[in-house]
Each structure stands twice: as structure tokens, then as C-alpha cells.
Amino acid sequence: MGAPAPELAALAAAELERPAPAAAAVLAERIRARHGASTAAILFYGSCLRRGTHEGVLDFYALVDSYRAAYASRALALANSLLPPNVFYLEAEAGGERLRAKYAVLSLDDFARGAAGAGLRTGVWARFCQPSLAVWLRDADARRAVVDAVVEAHLTAVRRVAPLLPVGETVAYEALWARVFRETYAGEMRPEAEASIEALTRADAPRYRRAGEAALRALARRGAAGLGVPFEIGADGLRLGAAPPQRSGAGLRRLLAKAAYAAQLFKTAFTFGEWLPYALWKLERHTGTHIEPSDRQRRHPLVYGWPLLWRVLVRRELR
């Protein structure tokens, strides 16, 4: 994956190897039981990890050797291969409490490609340039693959946002990462208020400063394969010496990414379960907008739920 990034690898490994909360461990074991020996790693990420809570729905990635080995169903394996990831919902009882999880299934190879920015969607690198936790790792090879991919996710994030930064001005690390998250949420049509985006980095500014400096040092070691232009790494942030080349067709790329996101959303309707109430709950939690589905929409979401969700998308509340 290019020149080594020892500082970033150390940061990634330290975050990934933190002790797992009990609720996350219970849910991870249920996920692993579903996919058997093909499971190489289970990663916990997202708002519940940041807030240190098991209330709500915990987010995971299950990384597998191959889709065919991960499923008894050939149809699910094919769907995961053609349009990764597959997304599922599960619940578990522990200590008298009901725990809830949403998890995505990706092969180790697709996880590495996603972290490096391959494909249209930003999901992998946008999520894993944020802190995550490896609740379960099968072996040393799985650990190495996950750490390498998380390192690459940070580098991809900085490379992708660099063309959008002003030349000759120092961009603080907090502002750099806030711009990363703003752009990736917009590309995925996800509902995230500006205050929430800023809170992501403000809640752990030293971590993002360390991650930013480490990523830039790694990119500097890659020379022309890094940012592609001269830049300075300062204690306060990044300063570009020239404008990075603009990616041609950026507008088309974003449009295609949104189309891929919509296709993924449609596929998830068949794997997720109670997806319409979940989507509306997610909307309300992020934007404060409450939409109550009718009984008919709850009973038959694949027939009657899509017009409701389309109205939400048109109003740009699921950006």
C-alpha cells in the first residue's frame, strides 16, 4: 500500500485493541455465529462507540474471507459480491436488556479496496478514519490486514479532501477532518447536521491532530504518490504550496455515488428486516424531523414505504 506509516499504524492499533464493552462483545459473538469460520474480524464503530453507550443501535462491520463461505444462501453471497456490503439487523438479550445491532458484511479484500478509495462509495474510508474497535480478530493475519486498511482509510481521507482546501493558508487539523466528514456525508446522502459534524472532531481534537500529522508524514514519504503537490506540516495544521490537481468528473462521480447509495438502500430492504421504522428513527435522531408511517406502510414497507422514504430524500433530509 505504499511507503510505511508507523505513527498512523501505532495509533490505529492502539484504538482497535482497546477492551470491548460487554454489550459489543455479546453482539459480536452473535454476528460471528451467523457467519461461522469465514469471519476474520468484527469491528465496532460509530456513535455508540463514541458515546460509550449501548442504547440505540450499535454499528459493526463483519469482515469475512469470502462471501460464498459466509452464507448458506447463494443469493446473499451474490448480492454481497455485486453490491457490497450486505447490511443486517440483529437483537440479543443480555442481563435482562435487549441489545440491537446493525452490521455490514465485507470481504477482507473489499475492505482493503474501500479503505484505499476504490469504487464509488466513501463508506469504508469515511468511517474508519474515525476511531474504531476490533471486538474480535481471528489471528495475527487478520489483525495486520485490519490495521493496514485503517491506516489507508486515513490517507485516503486526507488525499480526497486536499483538492478542496485553500492554497497558501494553514488549515487546522480540526477543520481538515470536519471537511472530510462534511464531504463524505454529502456524498452518501446521510442525515448529519453541521453541528454534529463539528462535534466529531471537537470531542477528541488531540486525536485528530495526531492522526492528521501522522497521515501527512506518511503521504510525504510517498512523494508524488502522496498529495501530488508540495505541502507543509505544521503544529497547527496543513498548508498547501500549490493546488492539487482536481479530479475530473467529480460532479459525475458524486451523482454515481448517490445512485450506488440508493441501490444499496434498496438492497438493504431485503436483508435488514424492520428497515422503514429504523430509517425514520435515524432521520429523527439526526435532524429532529419526525415522520410517522401508517399501519399500511409498516405492514408492507416494500410496497408502500418507498414513497415515504423518497419524499424524505427529495427534501434532502437524508443527505
Per-residue pLDDT of the chain (319 residues; tens, 9 = 90+): 555 799 999 999 999 999 999 999 999 999 999 999 999 999 999 989 999 999 889 999 999 999 999 999 999 999 899 889 999 988 898 888 989 899 999 999 999 999 998 875 668 999 999 999 999 999 999 999 999 999 999 999 999 898 889 999 999 999 999 999 988 876 665 556 677 777 888 889 999 999 999 999 999 988 766 888 889 998 889 999 887 776 655 566 666 666 666 666 666 666 666 666 666 766 666 666 677 777 776 665 655 566 766 666 555 444 4
Structural domain for 301, as ranges? 250-314
Q: Based on the fold, state whether residues 70 and 208 are members of the same structural domain.
A: yes
Q: What is the CATH number of the domain that holds 150?
A: 3.30.460.10
Domain boundary among 183, 217, 240: 240
Cell of 312: 424524505
Q: Based on the fold, state whether residues 54 and 191 are members of the same structural domain.
A: yes
Q: Using alpha carbons, select from 102, 36, 39, 101 the residue that is nearest to residue 72.
A: 36
Q: Report yes or no on 319 lying in a domain.
A: no
Domain boundary among 240, 271, 305: 240
Q: Based on the fold, state whether residues 74 and 111 are members of the same structural domain.
A: yes
237 phi and psi angles, rounded to 5 deg: 155, -160
Q: Based on the fold, state whether residues 60 and 81 are members of the same structural domain.
A: yes
The DSSP secondary structure of 239-285, one letter per residue, reads: EESSPPPPPTTHHHHHHHHHHHHHHHHHHHHHHSSSHHHHHHHHHHH
Q: Based on the fold, state whether residues 259 and 155 are members of the same structural domain.
A: no
Three-class DSSP category at 220: helix
Rounded to two decimals, the pTM is 0.82
List of residues 6+ apart from 87 with CB closer than 8 A:
102, 103, 104, 105, 264, 268, 271, 272
